[in-house]
A and B are shown apart, each in its own frame.
Chain A
Amino acid sequence: MSLKIDQDHSRFGAIVRGRIRQNLRKYISQGELIGRKGKDLVSIPIPQIEIPRFTYGDKQRGGTGQGDGKPGDPVGGDPDSGEPGDGHKAGSGAGEHVLEVDVTLDELASILGEELELPDIEDKGKSKIINAKDRYTSIRRVGPESLRSFRRTYREALKRQIATGTYASGNPVVVPIPADRRYRSWKTEAEPIANAVIIYMMDVSGSMGDEQKDIVRIESFWIDAWLQKQYHGLESRYIIHDAVAREVDRETFFHTRESGGTMISSAYKLCSQLIDDHFSPEEWNVYPFHFSDGDNWSMDDTLLCVDLLKTKILPRVNMFAYGQVESPYGSGQFVKDLREHFGKDDRVVTSEIRDKDAIITSIKEFLGKGV
């Protein structure tokens, strides 16, 4: 049913969206969203769009309350509560209001896209394979004995016994009868197979500090969000390397700190291996992203990397992205080497990320080509 308020509501939505757009750079560089990421929704804290008034300062105001406690005790007994009441109620103080607006990841990505003028990715015409998968989601009264749910059955029996008055608390034996039995039941769901994969590679040698890793983490969130919008299924794989490379899970990827030298070729080898084993280019759109401070072990290794890229990786991927994060220790040579060898190759995108504020430009460089 349509309501009169819908017009005002969507107007408010537009204003909020505008606010998000205005502050996008801030959200991105502060990584504000990431801690709050749900499955499909991101809550964006928006300072409530409040209409300014001549009013008293919040903190000095105080108010009156009701309850136990002696002078000096925190109001409400909760030391964390900074908000004893809202301004409309008589005699209560004012508190900070933060309005959280839920934005779907999809919408967020399209705001990002609009703002950075990212082109949609051209469809490679690769088939989307749909998989059928069974999920146990509900409970039925009939079913095979192997699927009997003990807990539900017991509960039914208990309910029946209490209702009929045959439950004795002194002797709490609960005996199910056939009518009490409950069985787990499944639903078959069609699940699109992921048809795009991002292979994140990161240098975790001693010279990559927390600051640098934070940049990589924030940037990868946005890359995920954008590609997620472009492809129905998206998989991510993570490789860390110093002198040797290994595949890790997401958590490890962002929290490992190793020392020692850097052999970038090790990561490229593993990446190529991964594509060989799991992601055949006929079925997959492959996006390797590599982040490093650009301090490779030797020129020989750099040449090996170039060779690997040329022969093994580039022919099988949509694009190859290299992000160089500035660190106080790195030489930053690698990005120059790549540019020298692949300067004219559209499939290789390089970007230098000096600090958190540069993330937004870097995203644009990476995703601006639409391949």
Chain B
Amino acid sequence: MSEFALKTSLPSYLREQQEKIELIASNAGLDFFPTIFEILTYDQMNEIAAYGGFPNRYPHWRFGMEYERMAKSYEYGLSKIYEMVINNNPSYAYLLEGNSLVDQKLVMAHVYAHVDFFKNNYCFRSTDLDTGGRTVDPVRRPPGYDPNRRWIDKMANHGSRLRRIIGRQGESRVEEFIDQCLALENLIDIHSPFRGRARKRLPEDEEPTVTEVPRLRAKDYMESFINPEEYLDAQRKKLDAVREKAKSFPERPERDVLLFLLQHAPLERWERDVLEVVREEAYYFTPQMQTKIMNEGWATYWHSKLMTESILDASEVVDYADHAAGVLATSGGRLNPYKLGVELYRNIEDRWNKGQFGKEWEDCDDSDAKKNWDLRLDLGRQKIFQVRALYNDVTFIDEFLTPEFVLENKLFSFGWSNRNERYEIDSREFAVVKNKLLFDLTNSGSPTIYVDDANFENRGELLLRHDHQGLELRADYTKDVMAALVRVWKRPVNVTTVVDGKTVRHRRDGEDFSTRPFSS
């Protein structure tokens, strides 16, 4: 165990457990950052949970709201936070004071798997601070991979940065601006950390000053017949139009709206600072949203394996089983990411152990043969380790969800019924369920928005476009977010989207909000 892990206030009986469990976990093949456990009282736990796991954040009322909600649901006995771990190197995990020893052991086993996931899943490479947020090849890692992920310090720095700004600008002014920025928080490009640097402009990209229309070669006296003047004019106009379009700014639609605003909106320095903080933190939390099912499933897989195979005393089995059943329960038809994740990993492990994959398996139509398919390959363990490194929730579901799995786990898709005013089960068909699930996971369930034009109609107005994929934007929120955009852009803002099946363009100018039909 690392030196500094011994510096915490963890009671000695828990430290003994930690050492034991750490050894068991690493023997099982888990590869984690050094992990530090802290023990907290319930109100400290609620505080840290309200801050998203960090001991120090910038001041904002929504953390207070979270705290209120958590404190309430704890008081009323509705929920209790058992464990929390943050993606940091070293990783910090929190144990709740007064939990039984079985629970603490379970949490530790669970936490080591989470930390293994943080360290090894490619999505989390975007949180490596020493790569400057650009990881072109997230799969290849330098030997002795030990990245700088001191996000606890970074978040605390954000706190003091914003506190200093508040000291100068006044609380309500800064708070109001933070609120506006948070309304734009999800307008980021989740793929940008892996795209490398923006392409440099090549000299040949430089536009020619005169428009030269290519002519067909012709003898002098044939010139006016082969290259008639009217034709040349028409061509010239066409070329001009293309060039005009290329001049539009941004040249290509920009999906990282926050970055665009940061670079091009007329902001004061402190406003830029605030926006930058909000954007950086949004990128930090993105990988966790992208891998919710995988991460929780992985942790659950390992805690149950380690607990039942090596950690538990015989006297603790019943308590453990009781608790584990609670974690994996599905109630009221809700999808439990812990359960979905762990079942999928087990399914994958089983399939790869038995060789139920590849072309031969896919092509087999005989359900009896499929049921008894067992090539004894024992590749399962190796496969799930690979899966945990190379997939996110979308690709995980896309590749490994099978019709048999959907049937066995009773998955369904549901929708709102206007007639009965309630949510009703739509379908149990594999394709429908899978599509719905993938849709909800894509872009972390947020609509995709692009900056199309920053000088719309040559009036310096901002034009955004909602990439409509079947679902429409929530109307009242759209209005409010556009107000926030106006606040940042300082000019009217337009959004192209779809309302009631028709393409429309919203325009917001201060208090005025209008919508008109639009055809592209």
Contact residues of A with B, CB < 8 Å? 1, 3-5, 7-13, 15, 48-49, 51-82, 84-85, 87, 89-93, 99
Asked if B25 is an interface residue, CB under 8 A from chain A, the answer is no
Shortest CB-to-CB span from A101 to chain B, Å, is: 8
Whether B480 and A52, one on each chain, are in contact in the complex, defined by CB atoms closer than 8 angstroms, is yes
Among candidates B175, B185, B436, B481, residue contacting A63 with C-beta atoms closer than 8 Å: B436
Query: Once the chains bind, are B50 and A5 in contact (CB under 8 Å)?
Result: yes
Q: Given known contacts A60-B471, A75-B424, A89-B292, what 20 new A-B pairs fall within 8 Å (CB)?
A: A5-B63, A12-B67, A49-B62, A54-B187, A55-B446, A57-B471, A57-B475, A61-B416, A63-B436, A64-B437, A64-B440, A66-B339, A67-B330, A71-B428, A81-B332, A81-B422, A84-B334, A90-B337, A90-B340, A91-B340
Q: Which residue of B lies closest to A59 (CB)?
A: B416
Are B335 and A65 in contact, CB atoms less than 8 angstroms apart?
Answer: yes
Least CB distance from A71 to B in Å reads: 5
- Given the complex, which residues of B lie within 8 Å of A80, measured CB to CB? 422
Is B235 on the interface with A (CB-CB < 8 A)? no
- Residue of A whose beta carbon sits closest to that of B427: A71
CA distance A246 to B331 in the complex (A): 54
Q: Which residues of A contact B51 (CB under 8 A)?
A: 5
Cross-chain contact A66 with B445 (CB below 8 angstroms): no
Q: Which of A10, A52, A64, A91 contacts B477 (CB 8 A)?
A: A52
Asked if residues B484 and A15 are in contact (CB atoms below 8 Å), the reply is no
Residues of B within 8 Å of A90, CB to CB, are 292-293, 335, 337, 340, 393, 437, 440-441
Q: Which 3 A-B pairs rank lowest in CB-CB distance, beginning with the nearest?
A: A12-B64, A76-B332, A8-B64
Does more than half of chain A's interface fall in helix, strand or loop, or is it mixed? loop
- B447 CB contacts on chain A under 8 angstroms: 54-56
Query: B339 to chain A: which residues have CB within 8 Å?
Result: 66
Q: Which residue of B lies closest to A53 (CB)?
A: B186
- Write the B463-496 contact mask toward A (1 if CB under 8 angstroms, else 0): 0001000011111111111001000000000000
B333 at the interface (CB under 8 A from A): yes
Known: A59-B416, A62-B416, A64-B413. Is A71-B446 also a contact (CB below 8 A)? Answer: no
Interface residues of B in 415-431 (CB under 8 A from A): 415-416, 418, 420-428
Q: Quick check: is B414 within 8 A (CB to CB) of the other chain?
A: yes
Give which listed residue, A8, A77, A78, A87, contacts B59 with CB less than 8 A.
A8
A63 touches B413 (CB 8 A): yes
Given A8-B61, A12-B64, A12-B65, A54:B412 Cβ within 8 A: no
Q: How far is the CB of A92 from chain B (nearest CB, A)?
A: 6
Known: A54-B186, A64-B440. A84 touches B481 (CB 8 A): no
Residues of B within 8 Å of A49, CB to CB, are 61-62, 65
Residues of A within 8 A of B43 (CB): 1, 3
Decide: B186 and A93 in contact? CB cutoff 8 A: no
- Identify 24 residue pairs between A and B in the complex whose beta-carbon atoms are under 8 Å apart, listed by A's number: A11-B64, A53-B186, A55-B473, A56-B447, A60-B416, A61-B471, A63-B414, A63-B440, A64-B411, A65-B333, A65-B411, A65-B414, A67-B332, A67-B333, A71-B426, A72-B425, A73-B425, A74-B423, A75-B332, A75-B414, A81-B423, A89-B337, A90-B335, A93-B414
Nearest B residue to A85, CB-CB:
B334
How many angstroms from the CA of A276 to the CA of B466 in the assembled complex? 75
Query: What's the count of A-B pairs with C-beta under 8 Å?
Result: 228
* Chain A residues whose CB sits within 8 angstroms of the CB of B445 once the complex forms: 56, 87
Partner of B412, one of A3, A69, A89: A69
Residue of B nearest to A84 (CB): B423
Q: A70 to B425, Cβ gap below 8 A?
A: yes
CA distance A55 to B428 in the complex (A): 26
Contact of B423 among A7, A56, A71, A75 (CB under 8 A): A75
Chain B residues lying within 8 Å of A68, measured Cβ to Cβ, are 410
Binding site for A on B (CB under 8 A): 43-44, 46-47, 50-51, 55-56, 59-65, 67-69, 175, 179, 182-183, 185-187, 292-293, 330-337, 339-340, 393, 409-416, 418, 420-428, 433, 436-437, 440-441, 445-447, 449, 466, 471-481, 484
CA distance A70 to B466 in the complex (A): 35
User: Is B474 in contact with A55, judged by CB distance below 8 angstroms?
Assistant: yes
Chain A residues closer than 8 Å to B474, beta-carbon distance: 55-58
Known: A66-B330, A69-B425, A84-B332. Contact between A91 and B59, CB under 8 A?
no
What is the CA–CA distance of A5 and B423 in the complex, to the nearest angstrom?
37
Quick one: given A52-B481, A85-B335, A93-B414, are A66 and B340 in contact (CB under 8 Å)?
yes
The complex places the Cα of A54 from the Cα of B175 at a distance, in Å, of 20
Complex-state Cα separation, A358 to B389, whole angstroms: 65
Task: Give the distance in Å from the alpha carbon of A76 to the alpha carbon of B336 in the complex.
Answer: 13
Q: Which residue of B lies closest to A78 (CB)?
A: B332
A59 contacts across to B, CB distance below 8 A: 416, 418
- What B residues does A62 contact at CB under 8 A? 413-416, 423, 426, 436
Contacts A4-B56, A5-B47, A57-B475 hold; do A76 and B426 have CB atoms under 8 A apart?
A: no
CB neighbours (8 Å) of B340 from chain A are: 66, 90-91
A54–B46 Cα distance when bound, in Å, is 28
Question: What CA separation (Å) do A58 and B44 show in the bound complex?
Answer: 34
Interface centre among A13, A61, A85 (most CB of B within 10 A): A61
The one of A5, A7, A73, A76 in contact with B334, judged by C-beta atoms closer than 8 angstroms, is A76
- In Å, the complex CA distance between A148 and B183 comes to 64
Report chain A residues within 8 Å CB of B415: 60, 62
CB neighbours of B61 from chain A (8 A): 8, 11-12, 15, 49
